[in-house]
Structure 1
Amino acid sequence: MHRFRWAGLLLALLCGIAHASMGLTELPASGDDGPVTVYYPSNDASHPVKRGRFLLDVAVEGHPVAGNGRLIVISHGSGGAPWVHADLARNLVDAGYIVAMPLHKADNYLDSSDPGPDSWTIRPAEVSRAIDAMGRDARFASMLRLDKVGMFGISAGGHTALSLAGGRWSPARFMQHCDAHIAEDFQTCVGLITRLTGGPLDGVKEWLALRVIHHRFDDDTPRATFDPRIAAVVAGVPAAADFDMDSLVRPAVPLGLVTAEQDRWLIPRFHADRVLAVCQTCEHVADMPTGGHGALLSPHPPGLTGLLGDLLNDPPGFDRAEVAEVHRKIVAFFGRHLLP
């Protein structure tokens, strides 16, 4: 068994040596689904390319070359974009993986109109359809074995990751969490709409937030999703307060977690720490004691201000060099579970 594991890791290393750059392309939107951004091994020369606020060194529409045959799907956070995970994608591509990132409907950088439980309900199926799309694409289909797919998600994407690892949740559980902890975990319950300031209006904000939450999220039907192709999952700083923790005692597939102890958007004791406390088979892939909620965004968005900046900018004392080591640990986790 150990011989096969080391053989898989050696294959990943050799794949990283075999190609020179990271290709970038986009599968077009289809039906209600947004486009799927794809990073992949390529031998074509890379060049600096502007995407949003970021300058990426990629081979746009470069010719794909075979890697290790495995696909990793990344699920972005609320309001997220594919560019803030380019550094993790590069680490995965260097190890031979092809990386696909679906743009989640109404909860992305172009359209953030419907985050939260509505988005969480449809995201797992969007991940599955992204796998389908990769299997249909003539450039990549012959290079991929889709019987063992890896999945990584951050924040709301971490919620998607927990769902695809076998976790059950419901909008009513989200409502119940906010009923019990609206003041302590306010940003989980309201997102970026407003914040508590310690002033006289805080009580009004809490009351209004709960009125809206009770109106929208009283459905107690359990959400449970399964895709037999997904064989290993990593959840980074996940939204998790609305999960039935019994469903995460022994996840359906190997599940790893990445945590940031200074997270002020998804307070760890209500989210990731609860999962780690009950899960008997989970691997704590990495912890960042001084990292905040935006620690796993890499490259990190520049110039964030206001509430978004307060929640996503790095706390004082956080060393961004830690992120590179976290990426290496994520790649190693997938190597152990997808390549043998």
Structure 2
Amino acid sequence: MRQPFLFAAVIAAALIPTLASAGVGFQHFDIKDPKGGAPLEVGVWYPTASPGKPQALELYTQTVAQDAPVQGRDLPLIVISHGHGGSYAGHYDTAEALAKAGFVAASVTHNGDSWRDSSRATHLEDRPYQLEVLTNYMLSRWVGHDRLNVARIGAFGFSAGGFTVLALAGGEPDLSKLKAHCRERPAFADCQIAAAEKFDVQAPRTWTHDPRVKAVVVASPAIGFAFGKAGLARVTAKVQLWRGEDDPVLPNPYYAEAVRKDLPTPPETHVIPHMGHYEFLAPCPAVMAQKMPEICAHEDGFDPVAFHARFNKDVVRFFKASLKAPGNRKGGAPG
């Protein structure tokens, strides 16, 4: 009896990765910028009945069903904004978790502020505009747009992406506050970037707001102090706010804590002990850790894999609670 049992166990073990990965579809494409800028690179993760297989995703490896049919109706949409110098791929594990939970997660590589090109990194007004372009595309032209519910839209952002989704949700930052902030704290990362890029904090800017966004997850938001109570007064979306207790890039209390204090409605707040900044990115594979140790390093005793299991679970829970289906309202671009 022992050999058949072992044989069955081996077969079951071999099947586990395939069964566990079934349910996440993935698409990668470019979309047009209506203002005539360069095309925007997009990754989309979504529910599917098709099993997945491992494939490269920049320096990561994900297990997905490439271009598989979309499964489900009335699906909520989450748009994702990465941090300074990042890309659409940086939060792929969170996007996968959302897709497994029945969401469509669409992530954009911000033109002018990615690992390929940071020439417009200080043009922060580009970012919420690009997220709106992505949202409009997903609701009107994406192959599964008729599966989406326009009343169930959320946004996720990390670092500069956290700033982005707060602006998208109605925040109006006053970037002139950066001048005094950096005069007192010139060694801070945002001040180093501002100095290197000759950031004109007085330049007129138009901020894109999208009232369709009903909930936002904000992780370690950059330039949080620039909003203030007046700048966040029109943010009515529900907010889940995260920061690392030992963040050396955006240290407390100028960023996430400033946002927490100034939001008109207290957010759901998470402060993670022994955690820095870049740990909000998907856990680093070995090749990434070798090439970018400054991104992948973490404090002794901090387990990024265990953290992301908890983080993704809480992000999914928050969006599920905040974006409950109010009715059968299909997607479509605003008139």
The interval holding the TM-score normalised by the smaller chain is 0.7 to 0.9
Provide the rounded CA distance (Å) in 2 between the counterparts of 1:112 and 1:304.
22
Corresponding residue number in structure 2 for 1:52 = 58
Does 2:171 align with 1:167? yes
* Percent pairwise identity: 29
CA contact (8 A) 2:129 2:207 kept: no
Q: After TM superposition, list the pairs within 5 Å mapping 1:131-280 onto structure 2.
A: 131-137=135-141, 139-183=143-187, 186-191=188-193, 210=195, 215-219=198-202, 221=204, 224-239=207-222, 240-248=224-232, 251-280=235-264
TM-score w.r.t. the length of structure 2 is: 0.81
Which residues of 2 match residues 299-310 of structure 1 at below 5 A? Answer: 299-300=283-284, 302=286, 303-304=288-289, 309-310=293-294
Tell me the alpha carbon deviations over residues 10-47 of structure 1, each in whole angstroms, 9 at most, x when there is no partner: xxxxxxx9x93211102323132412110111112211
Determine if contact 1:28/1:35 at 8 Å carries over to the other structure.
yes
Q: CA RMSD in A?
A: 2.4
> Cα deviation per residue 1:60-110 (whole Å; 9 max; x = unaligned)?
111211155110001011111222211111111111000101110111122
Query: Is contact 1:23-1:61 (8 Å) kept?
Result: yes
Letter of the structure 1 residue corresponding to residue 293 of structure 2? G
| CA distance, structure 1, for counterparts of residue 139 and residue 70 of structure 2 | 15
1:338 maps onto 2:326 in alignment: no
Distance in 2 (CA, whole Å) between partners of 1:166 and 1:233 is 11
- Going from structure 1 to structure 2, the CA distance change for 1:269 and 1:301 (only over 3 Å counts) comes to farther
In structure 2, list runs of 5 or more residues that go unmatched.
1-18, 326-335
Over residues 160-219 of structure 1, what are the superposed CA-to-partner deviations in whole Å (9 max), with x where a residue is unaligned? 011123221133222332122213xx212124xxxxxxxxxxxxxxxxx75x67x53231
Aligned to 1:293: 277
Q: 1:323 aligns with which of 280, 297, 308?
A: 308
Indicate the SS of the match to 2:268.
strand
Aligned residue number for residue 30 of structure 1: 32
Q: Is the 8 A contact 1:67 1:96 kept in 2?
A: no
CA distance in structure 1 between the partners assigned to 2:64 and 2:229 by the alignment? 41
Moved more, 101-110 or 284-293: 284-293
Do the aligned partners of residues 312 and 241 (structure 1) sit closer, same or farther apart at CA in structure 2, a change above 3 Å counting? farther
**Contact 2:245–2:273 (CA under 8 A) maintained in structure 1:** yes
Shift of 1:311: 5.5
1:50 Cα offset (Å): 1.1
- For the 8 Å contact 1:84–1:301, the answer to whether it is kept is no
Contact 1:77 1:156 in 2 (8 A): yes
How does the TM-score come out when normalised to structure 1? Answer: 0.80
